[in-house]
């Protein structure tokens, strides 16, 4: 593979796990967004950004948005990590919401993450509980895939991370 860098932002560890797996599989340099500098990133041929999905936004994506003009001649990809099972319509919404302007043409990939309420910050735990209460009022037969996952994960610790989610991204990087 070409010389590359993985820039990631992880809140609870699932995205970091994917970034580290990618690093092992590609020999790319790996760095957290908070420690990354655009001048360092532009030295690499390939840039892979990894960020968790929170309230339909991809964490840390502002780094790419702010520096996209510097990276325009790079091979780029984005891996977003979420707790829900993959759903085409939800994935399309995430893509349309996040990949605007100069990011629009960057390929987006998905990896399923983890769920552990005991590790969540109070604000995240509170928001999730409010969302669960709202979803619980609905008829379960009308649940969207993310709603089913939210209700099934309630009160449990779940880790759905799997290297299989990296296969499409790795295939893209090899071409």
Residue pLDDT, tens place only, 107-151: 999 999 987 878 878 877 788 788 788 888 999 898 887 777 777
From 41, 81, 84, select the one nearest 59 (Cα to Cα).
81
Q: Helix count (H) and strand count (E) of the chain?
A: 7, 8
CA distance 94 to 90: 6
Cα angle 9, 12, 16 (rounded to 5 degrees) comes to 45
- Residue 152 binned pLDDT confidence (cut-offs 50, 70, 90): confident
Residue pLDDT, tens place only, 48-98: 999 999 878 999 999 999 999 999 899 999 999 998 888 898 899 999 999
What confidence score (pLDDT) does residue 158 get?
Answer: 81
State whether residue 79 is helix, strand or coil: strand
What confidence score (pLDDT) does residue 64 get?
Answer: 95
What confidence score (pLDDT) does residue 2 get?
Answer: 56
What confidence score (pLDDT) does residue 1 get?
Answer: 45
């Amino acid at each position: 593979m070409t010389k590359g860098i993985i820039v990631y932002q992880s809140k609870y560890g699932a995205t970091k796990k994917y970034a580290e797996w990618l690093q092992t599989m590609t020999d790319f340099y790996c760095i957290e967004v908070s420690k990354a500098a655009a001048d360092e990133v532009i030295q690499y041929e390939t840039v892979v950004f990894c960020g968790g999905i929170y309230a339909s936004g991809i964490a840390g994506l502002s780094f790419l948005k702010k520096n996209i003009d510097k990276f325009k001649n790079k091979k780029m990809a984005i891996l977003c990590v979420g707790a829900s099972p993959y759903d085409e319509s939800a994935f399309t919404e995430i893509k349309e919401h996040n990949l605007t302007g100069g990011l629009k043409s960057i390929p987006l990939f998905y990896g399923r993450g983890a769920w552990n309420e005991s590790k969540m910050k109070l604000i995240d735990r509170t928001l999730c509980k409010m969302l669960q209460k709202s979803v619980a009022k609905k008829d379960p037969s009308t649940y969207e895939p993310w709603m089913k996952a939210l209700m099934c994960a309630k009160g449990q610790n779940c880790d759905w991370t799997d290297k299989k989610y990296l296969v499409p991204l790795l295939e893209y990087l090899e071409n």
